[in-house]
Structure 1
Amino acid sequence: MPADIPTPPPTPAPSAEPSTDRGATAPSSPNLAMGILAFCGVVVAVMQTLVVPLLPHIPELTGATPAAASWLVTITLLTGAVFTPVLGRVGDMYGKRRVLLASLGSLLVGSVLCAISSHIEILITGRALQGAALAVVPLGISILRDELPPERVLPAVALMSSTLGIGAAVGVPVAAFVVEHFDWHTMFWVSGVIALIDIVLVLLFVPESPLRTRGRFDAVGGLGLAAVLVCLLLAVTQGGEWGWTSPATLGLLAAAVLAGLLWGAYELRVRSPMVDLRVSARPAVLYANLAALLIGFAFYANSLVTGQMVQEPKVTGYGLGASIVVSGLCLLPGGVAMVLLSPVSARISAAHGPKVSLALASVIIAVGYGVRWFTSHDLWTIVAGATVVAAGTAIAYSALPALVMRAVPVSETGAANGLNTLMRSVGQAFCSAAVAAVLSNVTFRVGGLTAPTLHAYQLVFLIAGGAAVLALLVTLLLPGAGDAKAGTVEGTKRRADRKAGAPATAIQEGA
Structure 2
Amino acid sequence: MTTAAASAAPAVRLRPVVAVLAAAGLVGILSQALLIPLLGDLPARLDVGGEAASWAMTVCLVAAAVATPVSGRLADIVGRKRVLVCCLVATTLGSVLCASGGSYPLLLAGRALQGASSAVIPLGISALAEIAVGVGLQRGAALISATMGIGTAGGVAFSGLVAAVADWTVVFWVAAGLGLLVTAAVVVVLPSHAPADRASDRASRRARFDGIGCVLLSVGLTAALLAVTNGGRWGWAGAPTMGCAAGGLLVLAGWWRWERRTTDPLVDLDSATEPRMALVQSASVLAGVAMFTHVLVLPVLLQHPVDGSAAGVLVAGLCLVPAGVAMMLAAPLGSWLVERRGARWALAAGLVCSSTGYAASAATASWPAAVVAASVVIGVGIGLSFATLPFLVVRLTAPAAVGAANGLNTLMRMIGASVSSAVIGALLAVQAGSAAGYALAYGWGAVAAAVGALLAARLPKDL
Instruction: Provide TM-score, normalisation by structure 2.
Output: 0.94
Query: Which of 438, 449, 455 is matched with 1:468 structurally?
Result: 449
Aligned counterpart, 1:6: none
TM-score (norm 1): 0.85
The alignment-based identity, stated in percent, is 36
Secondary structure of the residue that 1:273 maps to in structure 2?
coil
For 1:127-163, what per-residue CA distance to the aligned partner results, in whole angstroms no more than 9, with x for missing partners?
1100112111111001111112423110000011111
Give 1:449's aligned residue.
none
Would the aligned equivalents of 2:12 and 2:131 in 1 still touch at CA under 8 Å?
A: no
- Distance in 2 (CA, whole Å) between partners of 1:222 and 1:145 is 24
Residue 32 of structure 1 and its aligned partner are, at CA, apart by 0.6
Selected match of 2:95 from 104, 111, 114: 111
Shift of 1:476: 2.2
1:309 alignment partner AA: L
Aligned counterpart, 2:155:
171
- Which structure 2 residue ranges, 5 or more long, are not aligned? 6-10
CA contact (8 A) 1:284 1:403 kept: no
CA deviation digits over 1:360-406, x for unaligned, max 9? Answer: 01110110011112223444312111111111000000111111111
Structure 1 residue aligned with 2:311, among 322, 326, 329?
A: 322
Deviations 1:200-252 (A, max 9, x none): 11111111233442311111111111112111101000111111111111111
Structure 1 residues 84 and 455, CA, compared in 2 at 3 Å: closer, same or farther? Answer: same
Aligned-residue offset at 1:358: 0.8
Measured in 2, the distance between the counterparts of 1:188 and 1:271 equals 42
Say which of 433, 439, 442 aligns to 2:428: 439
Given that 2:29 and 2:117 are in contact with CA atoms closer than 8 Å, whether structure 1 keeps it comes out as: no
| Superimposed CA distance per residue, residues 56-85 of structure 1 (whole angstroms, 9 cap, x where no aligned partner) | 000110001100100111111111111001
**Corresponding residue for 1:457?**
438
SS at match of 1:479: coil
Query: Structure 2: which amino acid aligns with 1:277?
Result: L
Hey, what does 1:304 align to over in structure 2?
A: 296
Counterpart of 2:449, as a letter, is A
Q: Is the 8 A contact 2:366 2:435 kept in 1?
A: no
Counting only pairs closer than 5 Å after superposition, residues 345-384 of structure 1 correspond to structure 2 as 345-384=334-373
2 CA distance for matches of 1:393 and 1:320? 29
Letter in 2 for 1:420: N
Q: Which of the residues 123, 127, 130 maps onto 1:143?
A: 127
Distance of aligned partners of 1:209 and 1:284 in 2 relative to their CA distance in 1, 3 Å threshold: farther
1:388 match: 377
Note the alpha carbon deviations across 1:417-472, whole angstroms, 9 max, x for none: 000000000100011111111111124xxxxxxxx212101100111111011111
Tell me, in whole angstroms, the C-alpha distance in 1 between the residues paired with 2:370 and 2:319.
10
The residue that corresponds to 1:95 in the other structure is 79
Preserved contact between residue 100 and residue 106 of structure 2 (Cα < 8 Å) = no
Q: How many angstroms apart in 2 are the aligned matches of 1:319 and 1:66?
A: 28
Given that 1:97 and 1:206 are in contact with CA atoms closer than 8 Å, whether structure 2 keeps it comes out as: yes
Q: 2:276 aligns with which of 284, 290, 296?
A: 284
Cα distance in 1 for residues equivalent to 2:78 and 2:317: 40
Return the alpha-carbon distance in structure 1 between the equivalents of residues 31 and 266 of structure 2. 27
The answer to whether the aligner puts 1:202 opposite 2:174 as a matched pair is: no
Matched-pair contact (CA < 8 Å) for 2:149–2:328: no
Mapped partners of 2:272, 2:363: distance in 1: 40
Give yes or no for contact 1:319–1:377 (8 Å, CA) kept in 2.
no
Alignment partner of 2:234 out of 232, 242, 252: 242
CA distance in 1, matches of 2:419, 2:401: 27
Match for 1:77: what amino acid? L
> What CA distance in whole angstroms lies between the structure 2 residues aligned with 1:117 and 1:28?
42
1: CA distance, partners of 2:244 / 2:312: 38
Q: Which residue of 1 aligns with 2:137?
A: 153
Given the alignment of the two structures, is residue 226 of structure 1 paired with residue 191 of structure 2, yes or no? no
Is 1:338 equivalent to 2:327 in the alignment? yes
Match of residue 486 from structure 1: none
Which SS does the other structure have where 1:268 is aligned? helix
1:83 to 67, 84, 103: 67
Q: Distance in 2 between matches of 1:43 and 1:254?
A: 36
Which residue of structure 2 lines up, in the alignment, with residue 44 of structure 1?
28
Counterpart Cα distance in 2 of 1:257 and 1:373: 34
Query: Equivalents in 1 of 2:154, 2:366: separation in Å?
Result: 24
Q: Name which of structure 1's ranges 122-131 and 253-262 shifts more when overlaid on structure 2.
A: 253-262
Query: Residues of 2 paired with 1:481 and 1:68: CA distance?
Result: 50
Please give the per-residue CA displacement for 1:247-277, whole angstroms capped at 9, x wherever unaligned: 1111111112211221111111111110111
Q: Which runs of 4+ in 1 moved over 4 A?
A: none
The residue that corresponds to 2:247 in the other structure is 255
Deviation at 1:319, TM superposition (A): 4.7
Q: 1:72 aligned to 2:61?
A: no
Which residue type is aligned with residue 306 of structure 1? L
**Residue identity opposite 1:457 in structure 2:** Y
Equivalent-residue separation in structure 1 for 2:254 and 2:39 (angstroms) = 37
Q: Is the 8 A contact 2:326 2:379 kept in 1?
A: yes
Q: Paired residue for 1:425? A: 414
SS at match of 2:261: coil
Query: What letter is aligned with 2:376?
Result: T
Kindly provide the amino acid, as one letter, of the partner of residue 402 in structure 2: T
Partner of 1:185: 169
Structure 1 residues 180-204: Cα deviation after superposition (integer angstroms, max 9, x where no partner):
1111010010000000001111111
Asked whether the equivalents of residues 298 and 468 of structure 1 are also in contact (C-alpha less than 8 Å), the reply is: yes
Assess, with a 3 A threshold, how the Cα gap between structure 1 residues 255 and 465 changes in structure 2: closer, same or farther.
same
How far apart in 1 are the matches of 2:135 and 2:233?
49
Corresponding residue for residue 11 of structure 1: none
Answer yes or no: is the 8 Å Cα contact 1:162–1:342 preserved in 2: yes
CA gap 1:319/1:433 in 2 versus in 1, 3 angstroms: farther
The aligned residue for residue 113 of structure 2 is 129
Please give the secondary structure, in 2, of the residue aligned with 1:481: coil
CA distance in structure 1 between the partners assigned to 2:225 and 2:193 by the alignment: 33
